[in-house]
Amino acid sequence: MDRYARVVVVALAVGVGAAGAAEPKDKTKAETPREFTLGLVQREIRPGLFQADVAERLGSPNIVTRGPDGREAWVYDRVSTEFEYSSGQFGLGGLGSGAGSTFGGILGLAAGKRSEKGRTTQRSLTVVIRFSAAGAIESFTWHDSRF
């Protein structure tokens, strides 16, 4: 990250922190939702948990289906895009020297290279949770991919 971008990020972080410190904390506001990751699913979801517990831990599902036997399946499907940006710069320079009272000359040498790269990665996480007729988790599966 170049120096100007670092200064802007630090200035914004300090400004947001100062603004947040000036505001009184409101207990009625909802907490910021946790990032939906495979680790969260594996840590929080276990067979036997009821639907209310799942909704509290993972939030609302994207899709709810009900089979002919009355059992529900909840599908959480999350897609995210990550963008990575990097830039580099290289330079070389030189200056000759003079001798005594006369200036012998200036020898200059310069070279430079600047490169900028960007990479976009998409990630998809699909979690399917199957419930019993009583509303408890019977099983869950997931598929996590990056492309």
Is pLDDT at 127 greater than 70 in this prediction? Answer: yes
**In degrees to the nearest 10, what's the CA dihedral of 41, 46, 52, 58?**
0
| Mean pLDDT within 81-100 | 64
What's the whole-number average pLDDT of the chain?
75
Q: Name the helix (H) or strand (E) containing 55.
A: helix 51-58
In tens, the pLDDT along 36-76 reads: 899 999 999 999 999 999 999 999 999 999 999 999 999 99
Buried b (16+ CB within 10 A) or exposed e, 12-49: eeeeeeeeeeeeeeeeeeeeeeeeeeeeebeeebeeeb
CB atoms within 10 A of CB 132: 16
Residues shown for the chain: 147
What's the confidence (pLDDT) of residue 113? 65
Is pLDDT at 15 greater than 70 in this prediction? Answer: no
Q: Taking the model in full, what pTM does it have?
A: 0.56
N- to C-terminal Cα separation, the chain: 24
What's the confidence (pLDDT) of residue 22? 47
Is pLDDT at 143 greater than 60 in this prediction? Answer: yes
| Mean pLDDT within 120-134 | 95
What's the confidence (pLDDT) of residue 117? 80
In tens, the pLDDT along 91-112 reads: 555 555 444 544 444 555 555 6
In the chain, where the domains are located? 35-146
